[in-house]
Amino acid sequence: MRFEDIVMCVASIAVIFTLILFPLDMVLVSALGLNWIQLSLIVSFFLSALIGGYIFAGKLWEARREAITKVSVLWAALNMLIVLIAPAGLADWGSKVKEAYQGQYGTTLSTQEWYCWEIMHQDLSMFLNVGLALLLGFIGLYVGSMLRRPVKSGK
């Protein structure tokens, strides 16, 4: 699998992920509440990789494990960048992180300590997203490519 094929596969997975995530967010939040929003993330990770594996099955079968691993790693790297950028666009990120700390420990920190706590919280988010993207991406790509096996010629 060539690098441009890997990039196209990851871009396709990202588009599919976006098209699945928002509607699933709306359904799960309206049915289960805001605390279940991470479930839509997990389901979207798997379904987008599954569909991507199905679409790119022909290319993935050329060098199966290596190709799936490369796509999964690039997909995880893209998710890492998204998690790094996300707090800049979320006005309540810092407030959420402070509430979580104060609710758990009930104490006040210095500005430097808050900064370190927010960095640690972002690192945790990045770790979880990258881990989910790697695991569910690999499984989804593998299963998706299995659903569309290449036809063996009788020659």
**pTM for this prediction:** 0.84
Give the integer Cα–Cα distance in Å for 61 and 153: 15
pLDDT surpasses 90 at 19: yes
Mean pLDDT of the chain: 88
Give the integer Cα–Cα distance in Å for 58 and 55: 8
pLDDT surpasses 90 at 54: yes
pLDDT at 107: 78
Residue 10 tokens read as: 């990851």
Give the tens place of pLDDT for each residue, 94-153. Answer: 888 888 888 788 778 888 888 888 889 899 999 999 999 999 999 999 999 999 876 665
Give the integer Cα–Cα distance in Å for 18 and 6: 18
Q: How far is CA 9 from CA 34, 43, 71, 85, in A?
A: 31, 19, 7, 22
Residue 133 near residue 73, CB atoms below 8 Å: no
pLDDT surpasses 60 at 22: yes
